[in-house]
Structure 1
Amino acid sequence: MKQEFAFKAELILVLVTILAGLGWIFSKESLAGMPPLFFIAMRFSIGGVALLLIGRKYFRGVKWRDIKPVISIGVVMAFAMLLWVMGLHQSSNLGVGAFITCLGVVFVPFIGRLMFGDRPPMSIWVALPFAVLGLGFLALGNGLDFEIAHLYFLGTALCVALQLNLLSRFLVSMHALVLTSVQLTTAGVLLLTVSLAVEGVPQLISLDIFGWILASALISTSLRYLLQMYAMSLAPVSHGAVIMNLEPVWAAIFAVVWFNEIMGIGQVFGCFLIFVAMIVSRWSQVRMIFKRK
């Protein structure tokens, strides 16, 4: 029975990575017709409120002192998303951006070391050279074609690593749906404030663009997180930790299919090196999976 639950969880998590990969396409399409900060504010506000409405019962008994640290982590999330959407707005290759952003998993132990005195496992030190080489090939894979978007995505990865460190230390007793909803809503409200101050209110949003916003908010945010939380309740965390590395792979595939993006050989090799770095950084979890089988 446990194996059946684990297999079901793994299938759901693969679907979660597909929805996350589609989120890059939905977001890029949305940015074609609206300011970047306003879009990401709408995406996270709608996604957060949708989870709040779905999981109202999980908020019963939650006290303000429990919510305050979640809000502070939501601020970190807002900054991460600000960098991400600016990178997405300026990027010419979604696949490259997805792989750089997902480097956050490699950076988690380093942020933990700097902020909390953690000692990264040996697998992280082994993964680091692969990550650095991969970044080099992505940035210079087709010659000197470095984009400022690469720096935005790299900043996003660092912010996500910080966010995950804070979550792992301060928020272990609260339901995941509450955590996600409060973080998304906090980030959305904060980004909306910045958007209105910097970009102003969009004069017109076409029906097509509004459809892409809803798809991004409801499918690639609310539904994605709900499925992810459900899957994580069925199987060991180690399963999800490794499978979630598929997100940049799907994003790259969808970008090729939808936008006809083409990666140079050097960039493809860079993506491969970063994928290797992500797997190596979670090597202890990979070994656990093989031992179970």
Structure 2
Amino acid sequence: MPTMDRHVKADVLLLVVTLLAAAGWVFSKEALLGMPPLLFLGLRFLLAGVVLVAFGWAALRALPRRTLLEAFAVGVLFSGAMMCWIMGLFFATHVGEGAFITSLGIVLVPVIARWVYGDTPPTSTWVALPVAVAGFGLLSLNQGFRIELGQAFFLAAAVMFAFLFNINSRVAARVPAVPLTAIQLLVVGVVALLVSAFVETWPAEVPLAVVGWLLASALLATTLRFFIQVYAQGLTTPSHAAVIMMLEPIWTALLAAVWFSEVMSWAQFGGCLLIFLALVINRWSWVRKLIKSRLLRRA
């Protein structure tokens, strides 16, 4: 395959990934109309995990016990992050805003890396951080400075996702992607269902439409998204993929505007814009390389 075709294919597939991820917010919000949030999360991830186990069974069986335990431990952290996320979505008054708050985890990744591993963050991180804080501050300006419950859960999820990315990147360097993800999804599913059994009342019946949203969330927004993402990342560099993946909150906000008729106030729009600007600043070196590579190909 010619180099240009390879890059174009990667870009298109990664755009599809971001759209599936954004659609997952809509699928999940619709499913929450008929299911308790933790029950939904558990079923979604358990189903997706079972599908991935079927595809990665041979590689999964070959993993040593220590690696399995590491993947399980990361899965527990992943469970906490996803439970915060789903509770944020359950209480959210604005889905698009929630997507931008959750994306703050990207800005926090190098900060957490410095705190936990002693890594030295690039200068862009310290520039992006106050911009991100200002953006979140604008989103909290609702009848004075007030953080809504959904916003607090999304922010907690962002912090946990930052921890998760740092730890998972070190485990993923030694473990194939499919079995690692399968274990983590299964752990999230089991943990969420266990917590749900203690704190939620399970419905006697679930409407067929809600079952459809659950299946869409598990099979399209989770399983299919993962397979496309892994394949697309194999066609390009991690930095290139990371830049395109920043589009997820934008697609989520647009889909929420179309599907739920969400409208942003000027404060919300300004806050989301600042958060996205923080994402661009945080990954500016990668964005600059992407722009240069595109200009060189056109020359």
TM-score class, shorter-chain normalisation, is: over 0.9
Q: What residue number does 1:31 align with?
A: 32
Does the Cα contact within 8 Å between 1:142 and 1:266 map onto a contact in 2?
A: no
Alignment of 1:176-255 (within 5 A): 176-255=177-256
CA distance in 2 between partners of 1:87 and 1:72 (Å): 23
Aligned counterparts of 2:95 and 2:143: Cα–Cα separation in 1 = 15
How many residue pairs end up in the alignment? 293
Q: Which runs of 5 or more residues in structure 1 are unaligned?
A: none
One-letter amino acid of the structure 2 residue matched with residue 174 of structure 1 = V
> Quick one: distance in 1 between partners of 2:4 and 2:59?
28
Q: CA deviation at 1:200?
A: 4.0
Identity percentage over the alignment? Answer: 45
**Residues 47-96 of structure 1 deviation map (CA, whole Å, 9 limit, x = unaligned):** 11111112334324222221110110000110001111111111110011
Does the aligned pair in 1 maintain the 2:131–2:278 contact within 8 Å? yes
CA shift for structure 1 position 11 = 0.7
8 A Cα contact 2:97 2:253, kept in partner? yes
Amino acid at match of 1:162: F
Cα pair 1:45 1:187 within 8 Å, conserved: yes
2:247 is paired with a residue of what secondary structure? Answer: helix
- In the alignment, is the contact (CA less than 8 A) between 1:134 and 1:273 conserved in 2? yes
Residue 21 of structure 2 is aligned to residue 20 of structure 1: yes
Letter in 1 for 2:192: L
Deviation at 1:145, TM superposition (A): 5.9
8 Å CA contact retained: 1:141, 1:264: no
Question: Which 4+ residue blocks in structure 1 deviate beyond 4 angstroms?
Answer: 141-145
Counterpart CA distance in 2 for 1:57 and 1:243 is 32
Q: CA deviation at 1:169?
A: 2.0
Q: CA offset at residue 142 of structure 1?
A: 6.9
Matched residue, 2:297: none
Change (3 A) 1:2 1:97: same
Structure-1 separation of matches of 2:142 and 2:120: 33
SS of the aligned residue for 1:140 comes to: coil
Structure 1 residue 104, shift from structure 2 partner: 0.6
Match of residue 171 from structure 2: 170
Q: Alpha-carbon deviation of 1:118?
A: 1.1
Q: Structure 2 matches for 1:35-114, cutoff 5 A?
A: 35-114=36-115
Q: TM-score, normalised by structure 1?
A: 0.96
1:3-18 paired onto structure 2 within 5 Å:
3-18=4-19
SS in 1 for 2:264: coil
Q: Give the whole-Å Cα distance in 1 for the aligned partners of 2:153 and 2:230.
A: 28
The alignment's C-alpha RMSD in Å is 1.3
Q: Classify the secondary structure of the residue corresponding to 2:205.
A: coil
1: CA distance between counterparts of 2:17 and 2:174? 24
CA distance in 1, matches of 2:270, 2:219: 33
Cross-structure match for 2:152: 151
Please name the residue that 1:288 is paired with: 289
Q: Is the 8 A contact 2:113 2:166 kept in 1?
A: yes
| 1:171 positional shift | 2.9
